[in-house]
């Protein structure tokens, strides 16, 4: 008697630019798990704490401060949630960290990557965290909700 065929992995459904070799399977494939996409550059820039002197360090601090969000969620959005932190420019090379927060390295514009992530999740609740007015319009046009930077722990 042969064993049943293993189910195909859904990890290949992510756009290759958003996957890293050996990246863990995101929880995004669980039905009903909302996706929180954080505009790293915008959220970091919302607090004038000297982030411009060390963009990568500021992005690491943000990544680490988001570590509780997958389990606890946000106000009005209880956990579990999947959290994707989009980084760009000098912050692109930050390490993945503990894995609680998926670090998505934008190959070009962070805004374009965020819109692509939101558009790639039809029927799923997607919340984008940003104060960027133009980005807010673009992601709501593809069905995402928007929260300001104060929605996430800093």
pLDDT along the chain (154 residues), means of 10: 42 43 44 92 93 94 97 97 97 93 97 98 96 98 98 94
- The pLDDT value recorded for residue 31 is 52
Give the pTM.
Answer: 0.81
CATH class belonging to 29-151: alpha beta
* Measured CA angle at 110 (ends 106, 116), to 5 deg: 80
Listed by start position, the domains of the chain span 29-151
Q: How far apart (Å, rounded) are the C-alpha atoms in residues 142 and 1?
A: 48
- The pLDDT value recorded for residue 52 is 86
38 — phi, psi (to 5°)? -105, 125
Neighbours of 112 (CB within 10 A): 15
């Amino acid at each position: 008697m042969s064993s049943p065929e293993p189910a195909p992995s859904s990890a290949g459904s992510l756009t290759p630019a958003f996957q890293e070799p050996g990246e863990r399977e995101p929880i995004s494939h669980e039905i009903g798990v909302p996706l929180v996409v954080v505009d790293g550059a915008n959220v970091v820039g919302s607090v004038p704490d000297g982030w411009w002197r060390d963009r990568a360090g500021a992005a690491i601090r943000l990544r680490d401060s988001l570590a509780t969000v997958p389990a606890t969620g946000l106000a009005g959005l209880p956990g579990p949630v999947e959290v994707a932190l989009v980084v760009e420019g000098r912050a692109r090379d930050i390490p993945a960290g503990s894995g609680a927060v998926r670090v998505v390295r934008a190959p070009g514009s962070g805004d374009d990557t965020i819109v692509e992530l939101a558009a790639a999740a039809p029927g799923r609740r997607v919340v984008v965290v940003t104060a960027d007015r133009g980005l807010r319009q673009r992601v709501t046009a593809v069905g995402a909700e928007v929260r300001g930077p104060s929605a996430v722990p800093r």
